[in-house]
């Protein structure tokens, strides 16, 4: 398995408390494209009849975001980063039932302050 950035060194902010940026490295991203299966759609349709959380779709979304996040961390590590700042998610439907999930941010090298 490739080296990755530690999750506690990823922030949606432009800084990480207790660390200082010593070198910005550029934009990094992780992209995954997922589709819903026929069986999943049937199961989700049944869940909508009952109401509440549609767990089949929740699990699909969590898996897609997790995969995109891990790919972003691997991309950052490959650039020599040990942290990612300004991290965001984006998602778009590229075809009916097919969604892309993108995790992106700025790869940086940080050092503890002090």
Q: Is the dihedral of CA 82, 10, 77, 21 positive or negative?
A: negative
Q: Band the pLDDT of 88: cuts 50, 70, 90.
A: very high
Instruction: Read off the pLDDT of residues 16-34 as tens digits, 9 standing for 90 and up.
Output: 999 999 999 999 999 999 8
Q: Band the pLDDT of 4: cuts 50, 70, 90.
A: confident
Residue 39 has pLDDT above 80, yes or no: no
What global pTM score does this model have? 0.82
By CB atoms closer than 10 A (0-12, 13-18, 19+), residue 81 is buried
- CATH class of the structural domain 7-112: alpha beta
Distance between CA atoms of residues 63 and 78, nearest Å: 23
């Amino acid at each position: 398995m490739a080296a990755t950035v530690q999750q506690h060194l990823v922030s949606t902010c432009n800084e990480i408390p207790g660390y200082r940026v010593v070198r910005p490295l550029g934009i990094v991203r992780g992209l995954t494209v997922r589709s819903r299966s026929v069986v999943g759609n049937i199961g989700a349709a049944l869940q909508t009849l009952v109401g509440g959380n549609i767990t089949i779709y929740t699990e699909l979304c969590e898996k897609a975001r997790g995969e995109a996040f891990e790919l972003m961390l691997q991309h950052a590590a490959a650039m020599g980063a040990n942290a990612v700042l300004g991290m965001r998610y984006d998602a778009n439907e590229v075809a009916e039932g097919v969604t892309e999930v993108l995790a992106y941010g700025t790869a940086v090298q940080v050092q503890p302050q002090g």
